[in-house]
Amino acid sequence: MAKKLITVSVNGKSEEKAVEPRTLLIHFLREELNLTGAHIGCETSHCGACTVDIDGRSVKSCTHLAVQCDGSEVLTVEGLASKGVLHAVQEGFYKEHGLQCGFCTPGMLMRAYRFLQENPNPSEEEIRMGMSGNLCRCTGYQNIVKAVQYAAKKLQETATA
Amino acid sequence: MNAPVQTAEAREIALAGMGVSRLRKEDARFIQGKGNYVDDIKMPGMLHMDIVRSPLAHARIKKINKEAALAIPGVHAVLTADDLKPLKLHWMPTLAGDVAAVLADEKVHYQMQEVAIVIADDRYIAADAVEAVEVEYEELPVVTDPYAALQPDAPVIREDLAGKTSGAHGPREHHNHIFTWDAGDKAAADAAFANAPVTVSQHMYYPRVHPCPLETCGCVASFDPVRGDLTTYITSQAPHVVRTVVSLLSGIPESKVRIVSPDIGGGFGNKVGVYPGYVCAIVASIVLGRPVKWVEDRVENISTTAFARDYHMDGELAATPDGKITALRVNVVADHGAFDACADPTKFPAGMFHIVSGSYDIPAAHCSVKGVYTNKAPGGVAYRCSFRVTEAVYLVERMVDVLAQKLGMDKAEIRAKNFIKKEQFPYTSAFGFEYDSGDYHTALKKVLDAVDYPALRAEQAAKRADPNSPTLMGIGLVTFTEVVGAGPSKMCDILGVGMFDSCEIRIHPTGSAIARMGTITQGQGHQTTYAQIIATELGIPSEVIQVEEGDTSTAPYGLGTYGSRSTPVAGAAIALAARKIHAKARKIAAHMLEVNENDLDWEVDRFKVKGDDSKFKTMADVAWQAYHQPPAGMEPGLEAVHYYDPPNFTFPFGIYLCVVDIDRATGETKIRRFYALDDCGTRINPMIIEGQIHGGLTEGFAVAMGQQMPFDAQGNLMGNTLMDYFLPTAVETPKWETDHTVTPSPHHPIGAKGVAESPHVGSIPTFTSAVVDAFAHLGVTHMDMPHNAFRVWKQLKASGVNL
């Protein structure tokens, strides 16, 4: 199949690759760039394990073509921590036991990262709604809610410090 | 050099041993995208496999045309049952003593059955090739109902079993009959029923559901034709069992088979079995001499890998007029699908279903389970529970509610009246289980006090009296006992291998340690909690204890993680391996301190000379000595292996209470409150226990309120995507309140009973109890799951109370 050249910024690094037009973003990230943090749980946009951030929006990369990202900025879980320091959402999930098997976690983190920029001071109900595109089979969400609350608090403290 | 003087308390805190809510060791990699799941594994030259599946539930295969698929550039092979026949790999044994087709041999038995495999350069080309394989079928009559399957003229599902009048579990009465299994004393139960002043009976269907972990099943098989060895990375809850099965099937010596379960994205019973996809990927790797990856998609996962439940149950209770239960009878028709591939200990084709007398002192009991073939996918695994315990607990808890209703008794009162009393433990049930320990009355009182049960009942009475109330209020109560920790080898084996488990601990010269077990974590946090057990036993900080599982080439043989067996079985092996090391360390310390062993006291992390706090050796001191200069005549080193064969099962229990409000207009059920008290004996890491309970409750909520796998008359599964199959989001999931009591297991080295499955087992009947309770004043005694809005709305209509 004829390939198309795309240029994508992934975690701040410019990547120029020739991809088949039918290549899904999740496969491009996982197989071309070896960024295996985002996972495939359903291939139908239901579970959210593949969630990444594209140009400031949460996107389920299992139903998004790599060619749609030409010229875009993509952030994945691998790009969340900076200079060895965990992002507040990563710290929150760790401290509040917001993960068990870890399979949904990269998608959860990327959604929490974007959600807290959309709504920096959410109520519990807003967190549950804001995270409802991401399924978890292990935690029952209660500690995920706490993890997002932890991150919200920490981000606010950092912003006002 | 001895460490600076610290109080024993400070040193204990530094260990982060048992009882501490230690943060998880495994999290660092997961929160940074550095987990290593099967689909993350890439090997040089790796090919991709995909599967051609049957659109029909029952059909003869007339012809398979591979040509168009093979013509696609990048396709390496297309294999069918005919290609596997010379290798005798077109059928494989199941864990239940039956055989299952690896690739459909002449006919398909259920929708989505594996018909052919394609191997290609990448997953896109493989998917193209699947579409290009042409299969001609001749349709056969389909039977999806197990009662219909037992009719004399029902279609013959298993032609390969023609003329076989007995199976792995005794005589077969019909061409679609697998086994009939009995437990208890039928004559005693029948006699009790014949004379009983009060009897109740209830039919109930426990729907077919699927564990549906977020990661689907898959593997990367790599056969090295030069070395003749096979390495397979696999989504397995029992890698050692897979190694034994693969060796038996392939003829490759077990020493040349390495099975690795890397990080596993949830299991819940779905990853216990050996699936055709795994076998095919291994065969493809052997045939092509290259690594082959197979990862199923979600539709394949729900449609074909192991389902759970599908039990049609009839329960009966006999009682005195004042509510003392005198006997229990249960008859089950179990739909096993087209192959009997249940994952149960060999001698128990219905698992531990005979825990069905529950938490109650019932003098006479009998149960009978009939396994039946239908044109549905095989399975019958324990979905976040010990073998068939969820079905058993559901049955008995429903029956106790039904009896209470008949007698006009409160459901808490009837339970308290029939509980096994604290002083009766160890208690032998009518089915022969020896319950290790329990204190049900104390736990029940704690829950009823916590929720102010009388006030809830008063509120409910007021709502019932108000014809304009927009909601119906229901209160569910369940007081369950599980049987977990399979199991004693004298009773429990899988493929003839006893269900022990194992641990190897090595203390390094500088005082850190590595430990390996025969289990495999899938989110339970073994790398954290197992280290805590060792920390407490050996006085080594859990931070420097590395826990490894899942690689059969390094870990000692074990039966894996399911049925809440990790802590009861491997946890005991860990404690006992540690105690072997401790005994040797004591000898070394005595030598170092030039005293008799008996003159030493153990305190947190050190051996102290009795009466002289200044003379001591820490475990780290001892470790150095063990490698540097052990006492004369003593073997150097400091390590131990222990294989633990449990003397008995463990019996965790819980008291769950749920309050629901049902919208009389829409049938929607709001979970107002769910209070879960669990007693899992000794608690190793309270944070992890609470997390496991939240997860189990949520999976129980999913089963009770929405999960089902419905089939139409043609055997089409009417819900095999996440659009149709209910996995709750954060929005629907209730908030959980947790509580506990601690009744240690007397026969377990650290008193721990296992916990992660109790909340699933216990919560499901609690939801049903609550929903039915909302209608109890209208004469409703039972409603089958799932309690989704439509089904509840239909009950509102039927009871004449919808708005």
The Cα–Cα gap between A113 and A43 comes to: 22
Segment among B360-364, B381-385, B637-641 with least mean pLDDT: B381-385
* Domain membership flag for residue B379: no
Chain B residues whose beta carbon lies within 8 Å of the beta carbon of residue A41: 214-216, 265, 298
Strand pairing class (B257-260; B229-234): parallel
User: Which one of A59, A79, A99 terminates a domain?
Assistant: A79
> With contact defined as beta carbons under 8 Å apart, do B353 and B391 qualify?
yes
Question: pLDDT tens digits, residue range A106-156?
Answer: 999 999 999 999 999 999 999 999 999 999 999 999 999 999 999 999 999
DSSP states along B565-629: -IIIIIIHHHHHHHHHHHHHHHHHHHHHHTS-GGGEEEETTEEEETTEEEEEEEHHHHHHHHHH-
Q: What is the pLDDT of residue A1?
A: 74
In total, how many domains does chain A have?
Answer: 2
Cross-chain residue pair B40–A30, CB shorter than 8 Å: yes
Question: pLDDT tens digits, residue range A5-56?
Answer: 999 999 999 999 999 999 999 999 999 999 999 999 999 999 999 999 999 9
What average pLDDT score do residues B582-607 get?
98
Please choose, from the candidates B773, B704, B543, the residue with its C-alpha nearest in 3D space to the C-alpha of residue B20.
Answer: B543
Residue B169 pLDDT exceeds 70: yes
Residues B27 and B125 in one domain: no
Chain A residues whose beta carbon lies within 8 Å of the beta carbon of residue B38: none
Residue B5 pLDDT exceeds 80: no
Residues of B assigned a catalytic role = 237, 384-385, 757
Q: What is the pLDDT of residue B3?
A: 52
Chain B residues whose beta carbon lies within 8 Å of the beta carbon of residue A60: none
Put simply, the chain A residues between 31 and 50 with a CB less than 8 A from any chain B CB are 31, 34-44, 46-47, 49
Residues B639 and B663 in one domain: no
Quick one: tokens of B697? 């409750």
> With contact defined as beta carbons under 8 Å apart, do B271 and B217 qualify?
yes
Cross-chain residue pair B31–A144, CB shorter than 8 Å: no
Residues A116 and A148 in one domain: yes
Q: What is the pLDDT of residue B6?
A: 87
Chain A residues whose beta carbon lies within 8 Å of the beta carbon of residue B124: 20, 22-23
The secondary structure of residue B167, as a DSSP letter, is E
To the nearest whole Å, the CA of A118 is away from the closest chain B CA by 18
Please choose, from the candidates A130, A123, A111, A129, the residue with its C-alpha nearest in 3D space to the C-alpha of residue A52.
Answer: A111
Residue B403: pLDDT band by 50, 70, 90 thresholds? very high
Residues B438 and B537 in one domain: no
User: Which one of A79, A109, A132 terminates a domain?
Assistant: A79
Residue B2 pLDDT exceeds 80: no
User: Which one of B255, B279, B304 terminates a domain?
Assistant: B304
Strand pairing class (B612-618; B606-609): antiparallel
Residue B4: pLDDT band by 50, 70, 90 thresholds? low
Q: What is the pLDDT of residue B546?
A: 98
DSSP states along B496-508: TEE--EEEEEEE-
Residue A109 makes CB contacts below 8 A (sequence gap 6+) with A77, A80, A87, A89, A90, A93, B31
Q: What is the pLDDT of residue B487?
A: 87
Residue A161: pLDDT band by 50, 70, 90 thresholds? confident
User: Taking phi first (over 0 means left), then psi (-120 to 50 degrees means alpha), and beta for anything else, what does residue B635 get?
Assistant: beta
Q: In what order do the strands lie in the sheet containing B257-260?
A: B75-80, B114-120, B47-53, B292-295, B218-224, B229-234, B257-260
- CATH code at position B599: 3.30.365.10
Residue B65 makes CB contacts below 8 A (sequence gap 6+) with B133, B134, B135, B136
> With contact defined as beta carbons under 8 Å apart, do B631 and B12 qualify?
no
DSSP states along B630-681: PPTTSPS--EEEEEE--SS-B--EEEEEEEEEEETTT--EEEEEEEEEEE-B
The Cα–Cα gap between B509 and B513 comes to: 9
Residues B621 and B712 in one domain: no
* Domain membership flag for residue B194: no
**Closest residue in chain A to residue B264, using alpha carbons only:** A101
Residues A68 and A94 in one domain: no
Residues B432 and B458 in one domain: yes
What average pLDDT score do residues A95-105 get?
98
Indicate the residue of A95, A138, A141 with minimum beta-carbon distance to B266: A138
Q: Which residue's structure tokens are 């394609």?
A: B118
The Cα–Cα gap between B469 and B189 comes to: 44
Indicate the residue of A22, A95, A135 with minimum beta-carbon distance to B214: A135
A23 touches B: beta carbon within 8 Å: yes
The Cα–Cα gap between A41 and B90 comes to: 29
Please choose, from the candidates B399, B337, B420, the residue with its C-alpha nearest in 3D space to the C-alpha of residue B374.
Answer: B337
Chain B residues whose beta carbon lies within 8 Å of the beta carbon of residue A77: 31-33
| Higher pLDDT among residues B563 and B121, named by residue | B121
Q: What are the CA-CA distances from residue B27 to residues A40, A92, A144, B547, B689 (Å)?
A: 20, 11, 14, 14, 16
Q: What is the pLDDT of residue B1?
A: 47
Residues A97 and A116 in one domain: yes
To the nearest whole Å, the CA of A115 is away from the closest chain B CA by 14
User: Which one of A57, A79, A101 terminates a domain?
Assistant: A79
Q: Which residue's structure tokens are 């594209």?
A: A54
Angle at which helices B686-705 and A142-160 cross, to 10°: 120
Question: pLDDT tens digits, residue range B305-318?
Answer: 999 999 999 999 99
Residues A65 and A97 in one domain: no
A104 touches B: beta carbon within 8 Å: yes
The number of helices, as runs of H, and strands, as runs of E, in chain B is 20, 35
Q: What is the pLDDT of residue B269?
A: 95
Cross-chain residue pair A144–B730, CB shorter than 8 Å: yes
* Domain membership flag for residue B365: no
Size of chain A in residues: 161
B152: helix, strand or coil? coil
Rg (CA), chain A: 16
> With contact defined as beta carbons under 8 Å apart, do B753 and B568 qualify?
yes
- CATH code at position A146: 1.10.150.120
Quick one: tokens of B346? 């060999």
Helices (H), B437-560: 440-451, 453-465, 526-538
* Domain membership flag for residue B369: no
Residues A93 and A64 in one domain: no
Chain A residues whose beta carbon lies within 8 Å of the beta carbon of residue B261: none
Cross-chain residue pair A49–B214, CB shorter than 8 Å: yes
The Cα–Cα gap between B216 and B350 comes to: 26
User: What domain range includes position B772?
Assistant: 391-482+649-798
Residues A71 and A121 in one domain: no
Q: What is the pLDDT of residue A160?
A: 85
**Closest residue in chain A to residue B688, using alpha carbons only:** A97
What average pLDDT score do residues B18-42 get?
98
The Cα–Cα gap between B3 and B539 comes to: 13
> With contact defined as beta carbons under 8 Å apart, do B271 and B212 qualify?
no
> With contact defined as beta carbons under 8 Å apart, do B519 and B570 qualify?
yes
* Domain membership flag for residue B238: yes
> With contact defined as beta carbons under 8 Å apart, do B356 and B389 qualify?
no
Residues B564 and B637 in one domain: yes
Question: pLDDT tens digits, residue range B490-535?
Answer: 999 998 999 999 999 999 999 999 999 999 999 999 999 999 999 9
Indicate the residue of A42, A95, A128 with minimum beta-carbon distance to B23: A95
The Cα–Cα gap between B740 and B650 comes to: 17
Residues B551 and B478 in one domain: no
Cross-chain residue pair B297–A43, CB shorter than 8 Å: yes
The Cα–Cα gap between B612 and B617 comes to: 12
User: What domain range includes position A100?
Assistant: 88-160
- CATH code at position B55: 3.90.1170.50
What average pLDDT score do residues B615-637 get?
97
Quick one: tokens of B178? 């697998």
Indicate the residue of B27, B39, B295 with minimum beta-carbon distance to A99: B27
Residues A92 and A75 in one domain: no
User: Which one of B611, B644, B677 terminates a domain?
Assistant: B644
Cross-chain residue pair B24–A94, CB shorter than 8 Å: yes
Residues A150 and A120 in one domain: yes
Q: What is the pLDDT of residue B243?
A: 97
Q: What are phi and psi of B7, to 5 degrees?
A: -65, 155
The secondary structure of residue B717, as a DSSP letter, is B
Chain A residues whose beta carbon lies within 8 Å of the beta carbon of residue B698: 139-141
* Domain membership flag for residue B159: no
Residues A61 and A103 in one domain: no
End-to-end CA distance of chain A: 53
User: Which one of B284, B304, B324 terminates a domain?
Assistant: B304
Indicate the residue of A27, A43, A145 with minimum beta-carbon distance to B730: A145
Quick one: tokens of B735? 């908030």
In total, how many domains does chain B have?
Answer: 3
- CATH code at position A62: 3.10.20.30
Q: Which residue's structure tokens are 């087709």?
A: B101
To the nearest whole Å, the CA of A142 is away from the closest chain B CA by 7
The Cα–Cα gap between B336 and B180 comes to: 12
CA B247, chain centre distance (Å): 25
To the nearest whole Å, the CA of B289 is away from the closest chain A CA by 22
Residue B451 makes CB contacts below 8 A (sequence gap 6+) with B657, B659, B673, B675
CA B742, chain centre distance (Å): 23
End-to-end CA distance of chain B: 80
